[in-house]
Amino acid sequence: MAATTQHAPPAALPGTAPAPAHRTRKAARRRQLGACGVLMAPFFALLVTVFLIPVGTAVYLSFYGDDHPGLGFGAARTIFVGFRSYTAVLTDPTFLSGLGTVALYCLVYIPLMVIGSLALALLLDSGVVRLRASAQLGLFLPHAVPGIIAALIWLYLYTPGISPVVELFAKADITIDFLGLHTVLPSIVNIALWSNLGYNMVVFYAALQAVPREVIEASVVDGAGPVRTALQVKTPLVRASIVMVAMFTLIWGLQLFTEPMLLSQSSPMISSRFSPSMYIYDAAFTRNNYSLAAAASVVLLLCTIALSYAVTRWTSRLDRTEEAR
């Protein structure tokens, strides 16, 4: 497959007759490459069939679509439609508002997630927390709860009549509609935060544990308090992890689908095109408009790539200025 074509053995130097030792080394090398190919083949077969071809198909579909001229009751034909589907997507206010929703979601969610999980990791790393291992396990537990079920649990915790939370608020004379017009996005952020806070905390904690203790001790000698040590010494040292967590949170955030899809069953405030992913689903499977759905997919993909690229560029520039100092 793709993998095996990639590692052709290096060409022998021209004009030199291969010595016997050389030949055996070459044979060994060929054997190794063969084994390498065998080990990689299954994965790359999957990569091609469930990743490369689909991405290619999405791009193809976005430029070629069924055309229904006139009123559309005649026979349809598949033609090159150029940027027609892209124009349609980018002028569709429902798609743009979906992009806006996800942008807002990410703006709220990512900082909360990164700061929250890092803070917890720093607290656990400070060495003063009792039952540290149990606390970690407790914080991590929601990650084991499937997304749809996390959304279900919280949906019920948002539903008046079932929810002890709503009841608690009611007792304090506060009526709060968690699925209202302005509350529904924070409610979704809460579900995502709940699910992933512990996971990222463990990532940060592991990174902190890997920092050599001498580095930290050195700064402590300088007379820094625990808070300053955490913020000015430890945090910069796990910068790579922060970037990684932010990046993955971003990528997952842009795909926002499961939580709003489930909450939409109970909240009319979540439209069927609430997020770009829901738009794609709706375009493909409610509106049977594959070209439109494909164009929206490609736009979402480009947004993801551009933002990820921006994050890496930005952080590497920060790194450089850091080093320059």
Partner 1 sequence: MPGRRSRRSVLAAMAALPLTGALSACSGQGATTAGSTSGTTRITFWSALRGSQQVVDAFNRTHDRVQVDFQQIPSGTQGGYAKLSNAARAGNAPDVATIEYPQIPGFAIDGVARDISGMISDTLKAKLLPQALGLTTFQGRTFSVPLDVEPMVMHYRADLFEQYGLHVPRTWDEFAELAHTVRRKAPKRRLALFPTDSLATPFAAYCWQAGAQWFDTSHGAWNVSLADAPTRRVASYWQKLMDEDVVFVNAMDSRQYDAQVADGLVLTRLTGAWDAGAQMKAQPGLKGKWRIAPLPQWDESRPAVGTHGGSTFAVTKDSRHPEAAMEFIEWQVSHPDALRARLSSGASSQYPAVPGLVPVDRKAFDRSYYGGQDIYTLFDQEARKIRDGWVWGPRMTATGKVMQDGFARVSGGQGSLIDAVRAAQDGTMPDLKALGLSTTQHST
Partner 2 sequence: MSAADTTLPRPRTLGRATVNVVVALSVLYTLLPVLWLVLAAGKTRDALFGSNILSLKDFSFGRNLHDLFAMDGGQYGRWYLNSLLYAVLGAALGALVSVACGYAFDKYRFRHKEKLFGLVLAAVMVPQTVLALPLYLMASGTGLVNTFWAVFIPVLFNPFGVYLGRIFSQGYVPDEVLEAARIDGAGELTTYARVALRMLGPGLVTVFLFQLTAIWNNFFLPMVMLSNQDLYPVSLGLYTWNSQATVEPDYYPVVIMGSLLAVLPLILAFVLLQRFWRSGLTAGSVK
- The residue ranges that bind partner 1 (CB under 8 A) are 65-73, 75-76, 79, 81, 84-85, 87-89, 91-95, 180-181, 268-269, 271-273, 282-283, 285-289, 291-292, 295
Residue 66's binding partner among partner 2, partner 1, none (Cβ under 5 to 8 angstroms by kind) is partner 1
- Minimum Å distance from CB 304 to partner 1? 22
Contacts of 138 (CB under 8 A, 6+ apart): 198
Q: How far apart are CA 251 and CA 81, in angstroms?
A: 30
- Minimum Å distance from CB 286 to partner 2? 12
- Minimum Å distance from CB 269 to partner 1? 6
- Minimum Å distance from CB 3 to partner 1? 32
Residue with tokens 């959304």: 151
Residue 40's binding partner among partner 2, partner 1, none (Cβ under 5 to 8 angstroms by kind) is partner 2
Residue 114's binding partner among partner 1, partner 2, none (Cβ under 5 to 8 angstroms by kind) is none
Q: What are phi and psi of 225, to 5 degrees?
A: -75, 175
Judge whether 269 and 181 are in contact, CB under 8 Å.
yes
- Minimum Å distance from CB 299 to partner 1? 13
For 209-246, give the secondary structure using H, E and C.
Answer: HHCCHHHHHHHHHCCCCHHHHHHHHHHHHCHHHHHHHH
Residue 68's binding partner among partner 1, partner 2, none (Cβ under 5 to 8 angstroms by kind) is partner 1
Which lies closer to partner 1 via its Cβ, residue 194 or residue 257?
Answer: 257
**What angle (nearest 5°) sits at the alpha carbon of residue 235, between those of residues 229 and 239?**
155
Contacts of 312 (CB under 8 A, 6+ apart): 243, 247
